[in-house]
Amino acid sequence: MVAITPGVTFIFYYVNALAMPYVFFRFLLEFLNERGVFGRYMPPTWLVVLGSILLLPLISTIRMIYKTLHDRRRAAKLGARLVRRIDGKSIGNIDVMAALRRSRDTGYL
């Protein structure tokens, strides 16, 4: 029996996750081209790559919104409450992490 290490599984998963928007976008363009949407014009490769790059954050945002709604519905179904979120002022709550680090370094909470 061949054992696949966790690192190889991790790499294949994320390569797949990064390649799928490009593949999806490319198949969508081919499908629309077969239907005659573009006429004889096919979008250039740079536009396909740009669309794929912009599609990745869009998919991630939709996935996060879906997960939040799913968690809220599940908590309501179980009669539970969700843990409060910390709303920081910067991207990724870096300001909150910096404040926690300063508190840890000085010894004051």
Contacts of 38 (CB under 8 A, 6+ apart): 32
Q: Is the pLDDT of residue 1 over 70?
A: no
Confidence of residue 48 (pLDDT cuts 50, 70, 90): confident
Of 37-41, 59-63, 70-74, 82-86, minimum mean pLDDT range: 37-41
19-25 — which CB contacts under 8 Å span 24+ positions? Answer: 21/52, 21/53, 21/55, 21/56, 21/59, 22/48, 22/49, 22/52, 24/55, 25/51, 25/52, 25/55
Q: What is the pLDDT of residue 69?
A: 96
Confidence of residue 82 (pLDDT cuts 50, 70, 90): very high
pLDDT digits (tens, 9 = 90+) for 85-101: 888 888 888 998 998 89
